[in-house]
Amino acid sequence: MIIKNKAVTTNVRKFLFQWFKLLLTVAAFTYLIIIIFSLPGDEIFNWLKSIDYTTNGLLIIFSVFILAFINWLFESEKWRVLASHLEKTSILKAYTGVLYGVALGMITPKRLGEYAGRIVVLQKENRIKGLLLNSLASLTQLSATLAFGLISLIVALVLFDSGNELFIYNHIYPIAFSFTVFAAIFFIIIFIKPIIKVVSRFTKSKKWQNYLQAFNYVSSKTKYKLFTLSVLRYIIFTLQFYLLVKIFGVEISFLAFLVLQSIVYLVMTIIPVSALAESGVKSSVVLLVFGAFPLLAGNYHDAALISSTLSLWFVNLVIPSLAGILLSFINNIKLKQ
């Protein structure tokens, strides 16, 4: 009877969580639609006039695509470094796995499908270990996001706060929470070997004890490389976003933009949406953050920010996911399985 009640409770939680994600996505897109339709006609006209249609603008757009390739190349190198502890892995093989992951991540919350997609390129006996090792790549990227976001949030609140109660009232709590999460993640990454040693003692399954031993392959040099590549990736997609907002006519300095978009990514880390719904939710968060700190944001058009966010989503996620799906057909890989 108790087991049955637990199963019912678990199903209810899953049901409520699915509905929460759906409502969150619908609310975000509804907010965007309201913003777009409430824009005055002259503001849209002025925004369209501010878009850079020159040759220089086209070169910048081309640069955004090149940076997208480099962005995923760095992520592929992170995956190659980790997977090479299990079997011989080329950068091409790792890049293919990353593209499979992007395709699966489009339909899963917080792009969790990316992890499953990557291990497809490994031998079956190495996939569980690969899945575990890939968590280090994700944790280092998350730590970079939290570090940039925390520093930016503190700078914005201390130096550029405009009196918005949304960010003033009890703002110490989100900062303290984010810092705690960052410290915990950093601690896990640095001391992963002794942590796994302790966990293994409480794990009765010999199979899982063997899987967990994969973390013993990871050296301090590997962790440093993962951290470095994660920071470089963060800088790259910040630069991509900045180039796009400039294309769409937003006049803002790079440092001011870095602070604002870092806060945006900090907020996005706690929102459980799939990559497919990320564009609408992220656009809403961008508008809220830029509106909360007008001293940093300066003059901008809402349509410009929405267009920039959607463009970045298309370049960084939609195109790579389509490439991943195409490769899965060519290589006869069943991503669903």
Domain carrying residue 200: 2-330
Is residue 312 domain-resident? yes
Contact of 294 with 166, CB cutoff 8 Å: no
Given a cut of 60, is residue 102 above it in pLDDT? yes
Number of domains in the chain: 1
- Segment 38-59, tens digit of pLDDT: 544 554 555 555 566 677 878 8
> Per DSSP, what are the bridge partners of residue 109?
274
The model's pTM is: 0.79
In this prediction, residue 32 has a pLDDT band, given cuts at 50, 70 and 90, of very low
Which residue has tokens 């990316």?
A: 114
Q: State the pLDDT at residue 28.
A: 44
The pLDDT of 120-137, averaged and rounded, is 88
Is residue 27 domain-resident? yes
Is residue 336 domain-resident? no
Contact of 44 with 303, CB cutoff 8 Å: yes
- Rounded to an integer, what distance in angstroms lies between the CA atom of residue 49 and that of residue 43? 10
Q: How far is CA 123 from CA 73, 84, 113, 120, in A?
A: 22, 12, 18, 8
Among 272, 270, 274, 268, smallest CA distance to 288 is for 268
Contact of 161 with 167, CB cutoff 8 Å: yes
Given a cut of 60, is residue 20 above it in pLDDT? no
Q: State the pLDDT at residue 67.
A: 96
The pLDDT of 4-26, averaged and rounded, is 55
Q: State the pLDDT at residue 244.
A: 92
Is residue 337 domain-resident? no
Given a cut of 70, is residue 170 above it in pLDDT? no
Among 188, 77, 71, smallest CA distance to 135 is for 188
The pLDDT of 203-214, averaged and rounded, is 76
The pLDDT of 229-252, averaged and rounded, is 92
